[in-house]
């Protein structure tokens, strides 16, 4: 179905719904991710693709990735020497935040304990983006969001980001820095020199930079966490990928870009992780711009549409043993984390696909390669239920604590010790806890039909209750395109009272209007 949409209806599905959060946080949706489909979006995306996210530009930031990887490995090494416990979740989050901060703004925002205040602000932004806004589904109830404090919280976070950006801009001007050292400086320089085809205001540039943080921090750290969790759950896979990494690198003290290019099985591991645990399982919602017909069903315009990549990636008609972690299934695929048949879409698809895929993958591959090269990892009891550990909002996070241990590889201890002139390390395994990030809706509990339309009168409270009980909500129901497929591939929502109907049997679809079937 996704293939049909991309081939025949991509333009009709290329718009974004206008939400309260996106309008406030992204300066009237003048970023790239949430901008309405049109000329401004095309030009803004072109700027990102041609000026910020080219392969040359991604490679130019390799020294930043190397620095953050070095810092992360050093923290683990020191903790191992001292026998201290390490919060790996926090460590991966800080590394992701710092890498994005330095790439986008040219600096880190760490306080004394190493935590990024800017990263914490980014987390607040993400949480607010996932918060249900009553006014988005019930326009005449926007006042409810004002009373509950959501609107003021959105404006507060937006103002704090404003302060950060304005401060950085003034610092760059006062230092008379003319170098192209980060995305923010690059965009400002292009704007001031009149080299952009689209007239980007300072607020437009801020909105684009915010995209980098929203798309690149939490999703990256979450993917890193799931990679490590799956490898520890599958020790044979870990041994195989460690053997590849260590054979490629040899006894060198540092992994370079050429080494990473030869680590094909490592890339398969990351692809398989993204298949089972896509960072954004329902992708970023889209909005239809015209009435279209798919599979015999009429879909009105102005409908909010979610594409369930989590379900698509587990379709038993496409994937053999879809619930199992088998990296070998990607050994004959290309390296671009895409699929020509659209059965694999961790970074979206079509015109609205993620333009920062290469940037994100480069850091993930680099950090995982180093974690597996320098250290050996394992679970204390060798058992973990990955299914029961998923917790989702817009992103799939780990819900439960993952207790694991690591030790410096005996074959790497001399090299790692010589890097910092530390002798006689203690190689005792150190306990690591991947701390819970909250508990919301588990993906494994979703039981939506392939395509549904929920009338605007259905309350969010009922929706949450129904979803949590794995209940089927029917506005107008289209049967699954695959009889063996238990999960939906598309969920359509709309704040307007129109009905998705089967053109072959309109009266039947109307009998389901607003009904809830358990």
Q: What Rg, from alpha-carbon coordinates, does the chain have? A: 24
Size of the chain in residues: 518
Residues in contact with 89: Cβ distance below 8 Å, sequence separation at least 6, in sequence order = 221, 225, 398, 433, 434, 435, 437
Strand 453-454 and strand 490-493: the pairing is parallel
- Give the C-alpha separation, 21 to 6, whole Å: 28
| 48 is known to lie in a ligand binding site | no
Please state whether 296 falls in left (phi above 0), alpha (psi between -120 and 50) or beta: left
Q: Which residues make beta-bridge pairs with 408? A: 375
CA 250 to chain centre: 33
Contacts of 161 (CB under 8 A, 6+ apart): 25, 121, 125, 206, 210
Dihedral sign, CA of 234, 239, 242, 248?
negative
In the block, residue with structure tokens 């304990």: 113
DSSP 471: P
User: Residue 431 phi/psi, 5° resolution?
Assistant: -70, 140
Tally Cβ neighbours within 10 Å of residue 440. Answer: 16
Q: Three-class SS of residue 304? A: strand
The whole-angstrom separation of Cα 405 and Cα 376 is 8
90's tokens:
């926090």
Q: Which residues contact 377 (CB under 8 A, 6 or more apart)?
A: 228, 231, 232, 238, 371, 404, 405, 406
Identify the bridge partners of residue 209 per DSSP, sorted by sequence position: none
Using CA atoms, how far residue 56 sits from 46, 59, 304, 358, in Å, is 16, 5, 36, 11
Binding-site residues sit at: 354
Binding-site residues for heme sit at: 354
């Amino acid at each position: 179905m996704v293939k049909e949409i991309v081939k025949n209806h991509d333009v009709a599905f290329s718009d974004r719904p206008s939400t309260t959060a996106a309008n406030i946080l992204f300066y009237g949706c003048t970023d790239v991710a949430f901008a309405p489909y049109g000329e401004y979006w095309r030009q803004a995306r072109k700027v990102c693709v041609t000026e910020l996210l080219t392969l040359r530009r991604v490679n130019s930031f390799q020294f930043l990735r190397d620095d953050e990887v070095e810092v992360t490995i050093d923290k683990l090494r020191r903790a191992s020497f001292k026998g201290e416990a390490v919060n790996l979740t926090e460590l991966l989050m800080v590394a992701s935040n710092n890498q994005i901060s330095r790439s986008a703004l040219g600096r880190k925002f760490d306080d004394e304990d190493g935590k990024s205040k800017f990263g914490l602000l980014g987390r607040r932004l993400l949480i607010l983006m996932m918060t249900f806004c009553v006014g988005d589904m019930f326009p005449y109830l926007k006042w409810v969001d004002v009373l509950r404090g959501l609107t003021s919280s959105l404006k507060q976070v937006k103002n704090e980001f404003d302060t950060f950006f304005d401060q950085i801009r003034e610092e760059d001007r006062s230092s008379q820095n003319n170098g192209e050292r980060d995305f923010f400086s690059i965009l400002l320089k292009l704007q001031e020199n009149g080299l952009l085809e689209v007239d980007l205001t300072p607020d437009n540039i801020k909105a684009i930079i915010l995209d980098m943080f929203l798309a690149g921090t939490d999703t990256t750290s979450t993917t890193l966490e799931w990679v490590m969790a799956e490898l520890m759950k599958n020790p044979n896979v870990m041994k195989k990928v460690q053997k590849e990494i260590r054979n490629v690198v040899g006894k060198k003290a540092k992994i370079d870009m050429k080494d990473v290019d030869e680590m094909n099985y490592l890339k398969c591991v990351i692809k398989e992780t993204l298949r089972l645990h896509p960072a954004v399982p329902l992708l970023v919602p889209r909005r239809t711009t015209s009435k279209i017909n798919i599979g015999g069903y009429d879909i009105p315009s102005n409908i909010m549409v979610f594409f369930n990549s989590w379900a698509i990636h587990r379709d038993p008609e496409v994937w053999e043993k879809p619930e199992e972690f088998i990296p070998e299934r990607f050994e004959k695929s290309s390296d671009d984390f895409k699929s020509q048949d659209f059965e694999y879409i961790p970074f979206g698809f079509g015109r609205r696909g993620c333009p920062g895929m290469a940037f994100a993958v480069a850091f993930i591959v680099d950090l995982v390669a180093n974690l597996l090269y320098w250290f050996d990892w394992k679970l204390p009891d060798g058992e973990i239920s990955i299914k029961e550990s998923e917790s989702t909002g817009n992103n799939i996070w780990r819900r439960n604590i993952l207790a694991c241990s690591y030790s410096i590889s005996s074959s790497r201890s001399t090299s790692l010790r010589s890097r910092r002139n530390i002798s006689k390390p203690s190689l005792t395994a150190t306990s690591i806890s991947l701390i819970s990030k909250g508990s919301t809706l588990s993906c494994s509990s979703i039981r939506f039909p392939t395509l549904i339309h929920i009338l605007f009168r259905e309350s969010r409270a009922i929706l949450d209750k129904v979803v949590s009980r794995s209940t089927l909500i029917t506005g107008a129901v289209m049967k699954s395109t695959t009889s063996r497929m238990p999960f939906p591939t598309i969920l359509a929502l709309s704040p307007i009272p129109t009905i998705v109907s089967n053109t072959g049997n309109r009266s039947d679809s109307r009998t389901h209007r607003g009904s809830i079937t358990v």
